[in-house]
Amino acid sequence: MDFNLMIEIAPLLVQAAWVTVDISARALFFGFFIASALVVLRTSRIRPVRWLSRAYISVVRGTPYFVQLLLIFYGGPAIGLRLDPFTCGVVVGAFNIGAYMSEAIRGAIESVDSGQNEASRSLGFGRLTTLQYIILPQAAGLMIRSVGVLAIILVKNSSLVSIISVVELTYQAQRLIGSTYKPLEVFTLSALMYIVIIYAVMGIVEFLYRRATRYTFL
């Protein structure tokens, strides 16, 4: 192992790692809104809306992320959808993770005991206020860990946007190998950086989980 080389290229990889974090964080942020919208649309009174949102989730879950990325980036311009690589990575990441996250959120909401809903309604709370004050605060604790797992998948999947030449961690690593011919050193270092990012995500998730469920520990 050429440790000197690793120290030398570290700053370049750290810079690229930041792009990985940036693209993943944005995708997660927008993905959360997409997921929330899907949860609402799936319970819509209008049948085609329900049907469309379910179809969307099925398509996203039934196709590889890699293919979705290629389709939007290379196929998009044919229908007037021209996105720069970074934006494309965020958009596809958000729509992809949003579909999975909507299932996680729905599952969490459904697993809150039905007695909670009844107790709240019997006090005079409406459907929405029950969701706001009673169901969601409890569902939050139940969904945080599964959303955390999705966030980790998102970070790992972000390596695939290298194919549309976003200069994130994996793309940068490949570039450095082109100039140094040291794949072992470069990939080891980039793998370590993924580990750091993912452990940071896990730490944040655990912190949020404890906060959201602290009432069960007190």
Partner 1 sequence: MTQTTETPMVELKGVKKRFGDLEVLKGIDLRVDRGRIISIIGPSGSGKSTLLRSVNNLEVIDEGQILLDGVQVNRPDLKGLAFEKHINHIRQNMGMVFQHFNLFPHLSTLENVTLAPRKLKGVSTSIARELGMELLERVGLADKAQVYPSALSGGQKQRVAIARALAMQPKVMLFDEATSALDPELVEEVNRVMKGLAEEHMTMLIVTHEMAFARDVSDWAMFMDGGVVVEANTPEHLFSHPDQERTQHFLRKHLGTQG
Select from 115, 130, 105 the least CA-distant residue to 32.
105
Number of residues engaging partner 1 in binding (CB under 8 A):
22
C-alpha neighbours within 13 Å on the C-beta side of residue 3: 0
CA distance 15 to 13: 5
Say if CB 65 and CB 29 are below 8 A apart: no
Residue among 82 and 210 whose Cβ is closer to partner 1: 210
Residue among 93 and 141 whose Cβ is closer to partner 1: 141
Min dist CB 49 to partner 1, Å, is: 17
- Binding mask 128-157 toward partner 1 (x if CB under 8 A, else -) reads -x---xx--xx--x----------------
Residue among 89 and 141 whose Cβ is closer to partner 1: 141
**Cβ atoms < 10 Å from Cβ of 40:** 12
CA distance 91 to 28: 10
Residue among 62 and 124 whose Cβ is closer to partner 1: 124
Amino acid at 178: G
Asked if 11 touches partner 1 (CB under 8 A), the answer is no
Asked if 46 touches partner 1 (CB under 8 A), the answer is no
Burial class (CB in 10 A: 0-12, 13-18, 19+), 62: exposed
- Binding mask 83-122 toward partner 1 (x if CB under 8 A, else -) reads ------------------------------x-xx-xxxxx
Give me the residues that bind partner 1 (CB under 8 A), please.
Answer: 113, 115-116, 118-127, 129, 133-134, 137-138, 141, 215-216, 218
